[in-house]
């Protein structure tokens, strides 16, 4: 009994001390914290704006701020309401944790859409190169070949090459227009193609043969990448199961014996152990992801 009272007292004193320290730190450096928060929000909104602009989904910068604020506020409310069932202190922690998830959600979604677009573009490059090689053999100029790609290929390939045509028509020289495309599409395969086009256009050479060679190289690299991805899938599945198993067992225990689980959320010591568990799970998942990620 005395040990239990001592642990509760120690946890309460630690919680009050940490809370007072955080409040004092925020009070003394409010102006600096406010400036950093505003700068972080501005950089975040600019990042979202850049992703949308590169996908030809241009939106006003104010919409990007709303995309950040709305999920952050909604997730914070959900976390606070859910935490109220355990107590006011737990509600504040829940609002902070869940709100942080809402804050990061727009970046994850938009970046995921952007990366899928890049992957789709890379898959279309082989067909585009074969089409370009055949068109050049038939006697078309490079700009006429780009027009064929815009007309015949699906998005996003047609959009990107169409932008090259539009920039060239308004006065941008071909080299700059092609390099601008590499800035919109961070693809190693595209960068290799553009470098080849620029070099051969300046020094002379057979573009059709170069396109055939590059297409064969890209096709082989994609084949190797698919094989590696298949071999690594078993490890990814195991990593997912190992990372989610503690949370799944905690959820099962919540329904079977909730009085033992609720201690994790109603006591300072339990909250500390729960946060420590999440940190260890996250660290393990990150290490496994680094091991299973193979760059080609």
Using one digit for the tens of pLDDT, what is the confidence trace for 218-258? 888 878 877 877 777 777 788 888 888 888 888 888 788 87
Cα–Cα distance between 48 and 62 in angstroms, integer? 11
The structure's pTM equals 0.74
Asked whether the predicted pLDDT for residue 35 surpasses 80, the reply is no
Asked whether the predicted pLDDT for residue 18 surpasses 70, the reply is no
**Mean pLDDT across the chain, nearest whole number?**
81
What is the percentage of the chain residues whose pLDDT exceeds 90? 13
Least confident window among 4-8, 80-84, 113-117, 122-126: 4-8
Is residue 186 within 8 Å of residue 114, measured between CB atoms?
no
Cα–Cα distance between 261 and 275 in angstroms, integer? 14
Whole-number pLDDT of residue 155 = 86
Whole-number pLDDT of residue 51 = 92
Whole-number pLDDT of residue 41 = 86
Is residue 133 within 8 Å of residue 212, measured between CB atoms?
yes
More confident residue, 82 or 112: 112
More confident residue, 290 or 108: 108
More confident residue, 232 or 62: 62
């Amino acid at each position: 009994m005395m040990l239990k009272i001592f642990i509760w007292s120690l946890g309460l004193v630690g919680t009050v001390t940490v809370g007072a320290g955080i409040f004092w730190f925020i009070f003394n450096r409010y102006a600096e914290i406010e400036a950093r928060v505003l700068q972080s929000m501005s950089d975040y909104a600019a990042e979202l704006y850049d992703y949308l602009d590169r996908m030809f989904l241009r939106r006003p910068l104010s919409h990007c701020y709303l995309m950040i604020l709305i999920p952050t506020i909604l997730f914070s409310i959900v976390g606070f309401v859910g935490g109220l069932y355990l107590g006011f202190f737990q509600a504040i922690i829940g609002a902070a944790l869940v709100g942080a998830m809402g804050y990061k959600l727009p970046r994850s979604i938009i970046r995921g859409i952007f990366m899928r677009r890049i992957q789709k573009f890379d898959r279309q490059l082989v067909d585009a190169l074969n089409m370009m090689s055949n068109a050049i053999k038939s006697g078309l100029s490079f700009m006429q070949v780009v027009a064929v790609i815009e007309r015949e290929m699906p998005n996003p390939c047609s959009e990107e090459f169409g932008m090259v045509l539009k920039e060239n028509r308004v006065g941008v020289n071909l080299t700059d227009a092609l390099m601008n495309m590499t800035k919109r599409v961070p693809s190693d395969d595209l960068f290799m193609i553009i470098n080849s086009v620029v070099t051969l256009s300046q020094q002379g050479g057979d573009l059709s043969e170069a396109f055939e060679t590059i297409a064969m190289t890209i096709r082989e690299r994609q084949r190797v990448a698919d094989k590696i991805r298949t071999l690594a899938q078993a490890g990814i599945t195991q990593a997912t199961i190992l990372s989610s198993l503690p949370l799944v067992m905690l959820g099962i225990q919540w329904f079977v014996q909730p009085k033992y689980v609720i201690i994790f959320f109603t006591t300072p010591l339990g909250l500390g152990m729960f946060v420590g568990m999440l940190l260890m799970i996250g660290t393990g998942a990150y290490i496994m992801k680094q091991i299973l990620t193979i760059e080609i």
